[in-house]
Amino acid sequence: MAAPVCWLFCTVIDNFGDIGVSWRLAQELHRRSGGEVWLWLDNEAALRAIVPDVPALPCRHRGIVLRRWREGVSADLAGAPAPDILIETFACALPASVRDTIRRARPLWLNWEYLSAEDWALQSHAMPSLQADGSRKYFWQMGFSPESGGLLREHGYEQARQTFAADAAAQSRLRRRLGLPDKDSGRRECFAFGYRSGAWAQCFDSWRSLQQPISLWLAGSQIADSLREAGRIPADALLDAGSRHLSGCLELIRIPFVPQHEFDQVLWLADMLLVRGEDSFVRAQYAAKPFFWHIYPQDENAHLDKLAAFWRFPAALMTDTGFQAAFTALSQELNGGTTLNDSTRTEYWRYLLQNFPAWQRSAERWQQQLLAQSDSITRLLQWHPQLQAPPR
């Protein structure tokens, strides 16, 4: 068989996770299957935020053919070879022209679903859904166990992480680019990329009252916006990348948005991570750093089940039960699942920071468990060997 042709369709609901996962998936499919990958998207600006050097669409960039489409309405299919595999990321609706192609070409058709550790996700992984015209669409459920669809991970990830950890010059260069001061071993540095929420003001109050030097690197605008709205920082503070605000021992620094291929390095540079959505959440786990997950909020607090389903695995590696209880309570509060009083919250934070080395070790153990498992693309190519690159 010739190198496979892959078609991918991405609808950007909001933010950067839909395009972030689709772009990562497209590149990994291209590298690993050796095939031609076509990615249709409906929001060029979102792609440009994470891939700033991408030319105007239509184009080919880093080996991926990029085209526009409108979900359920139309797609620029001109010149596209028939697909061997077609992936709709996160259940987007395909236009009639694409469905016609599916009927004619009979590609392997996947719905690449949102990441979840819930049991239903595991149960539906790789299951077919029979369509009215007799074709089958399969669910691909990424996940954290060998029975799931795995997680996206580039070949050589861990090697790159360890090389960066040993390269002080590369770390200094990145610090300068991000507008960060030199490393101060007495100060905990925390990367923070979260959604707009009142919970940030409460965290801010606790961190301030800890009287312990902490730097918070704010990526994106939403945490800073939340703090401004809650009156914790002045109206003109932290509006742009490079700006800083000092409040007691707590230092807040707005860092610039970096291209996705440099994003991991920013995580590797910090001591602790506050991440969100899907893609930054996965990268935090690979980074082997203590982290909190600010999960994407859903109606009727449905996100709390998803949050709990995930944490049952890594939280089991936190051997100190007091630590586990403090962590779980803070994670719940951050995600709208409970409300703590101020002194309890502050004491929980103090406990976590005092026990930072143990927290770090549990993050490393979790990362080791993930690295011991195969990644999503390896699983896909094993599940459907026809997608393997032909021998050269």
Binding site for ligand TRH (CB under 6 A): 13-18, 20, 50, 193, 219-220, 257-258, 260, 263, 276-281, 296
CA gap 30, 9 in Å, rounded:
15
Question: Closer to ligand TRH at the Cβ: 73 or 91?
Answer: 91
CB atoms within 10 A of CB 310: 21
CA gap 190, 292 in Å, rounded:
11
The tokens describing 363, both together, are 């993050």
The catalytically annotated residue of 18, 28, 189, 375 is 18
CA gap 230, 29 in Å, rounded:
44
Closest CA to 192 of 170, 169, 224: 224
Question: Closer to ligand TRH at the Cβ: 11 or 33?
Answer: 11
Shortest distance (Å) from residue 226 CB to ligand TRH: 14
Question: Closer to ligand TRH at the Cβ: 16 or 268?
Answer: 16
The three-class DSSP label of residue 59 is: strand
Shortest distance (Å) from residue 273 CB to ligand TRH: 11
Shortest distance (Å) from residue 291 CB to ligand TRH: 12
Shortest distance (Å) from residue 303 CB to ligand TRH: 9
300 catalytically annotated: no
DSSP symbol at 385:
G
DSSP symbol at 299:
G
CA gap 29, 389 in Å, rounded:
10
The three-class DSSP label of residue 294 is: strand
Contact 182, 171 (CB under 8 A): no
CA gap 355, 350 in Å, rounded:
9
Question: Closer to ligand TRH at the Cβ: 154 or 205?
Answer: 154
Shortest distance (Å) from residue 17 CB to ligand TRH: 2
44 catalytically annotated: no
Question: Closer to ligand TRH at the Cβ: 293 or 323?
Answer: 293
CA gap 237, 227 in Å, rounded:
10
Give bridge partners of residue 291 from the DSSP assignment.
273
Give bridge partners of residue 219 from the DSSP assignment.
255
Question: Closer to ligand TRH at the Cβ: 16 or 40?
Answer: 16
The catalytically annotated residue of 88, 278, 279, 333 is 278
CA gap 348, 327 in Å, rounded:
7
CA gap 357, 255 in Å, rounded:
26
Burial of 385 (0-12, 13-18, 19+ CB in 10 A): exposed
Shortest distance (Å) from residue 307 CB to ligand TRH: 12
Question: Closer to ligand TRH at the Cβ: 4 or 194?
Answer: 194
CA gap 202, 73 in Å, rounded:
44
CA gap 310, 312 in Å, rounded:
6
Shortest distance (Å) from residue 282 CB to ligand TRH: 8
Q: Which residues are catalytic?
A: 18, 278
